[in-house]
Amino acid sequence: MKSDTRKTLFSFLAELAVYGVLVVIYFFLVLHFLANWLAHLFQGNIKLYALVSIGLIIGQAILLEMVTTFLFRLLRGRSE
Partner 1 sequence: MILLAMHFPISGTDISPLYLVIIGFLIGVLGGFFGVGGSFIAGPALRAVGMHWNFAVGTDLAHIVGKSVVAARRHRALGNVDLKLGLIMATGTIAGAECGAQLIQLLKRQGNVDFVVSIVSIVIYSSISTFMIWESWRTVRSQKRRGVGKDKNTQKGRHAADESSFSGLTESMQRIPLWPVISLPTSGVKAISLWVIIIVSFIGGLFSGFLGGGAGYIRMPMMVYILGVPTHLAVGTDLFEIIISASYGTFSHAIKGNVDILVALVMHTGAAIGAQIGAILTQYFAGPKIRLLFVPLPLIGVAIVVYTLFTGHKL
Four-point Cα dihedral 19, 74, 69, 17, nearest 10: -10
Using CB under 8 A as the binding rule, whether residue 35 contacts partner 1 is answered as yes
- For residue 62, the 8-state DSSP code is H
Per CB under 8 A, the list member of 13, 21, 29, 65 interacting with partner 1 is 65
Q: Does 33 bind partner 1 (CB under 8 A)?
A: no
Residues 6+ apart with CB under 8 A from 52: 38, 41
Question: In the complex, which residues of this chain contact partner 1 (CB under 8 A)?
Answer: 12, 15-16, 19, 23-24, 26-27, 31, 34-36, 38-39, 42, 46-47, 49-54, 56-58, 60-62, 64-65, 68-69, 72
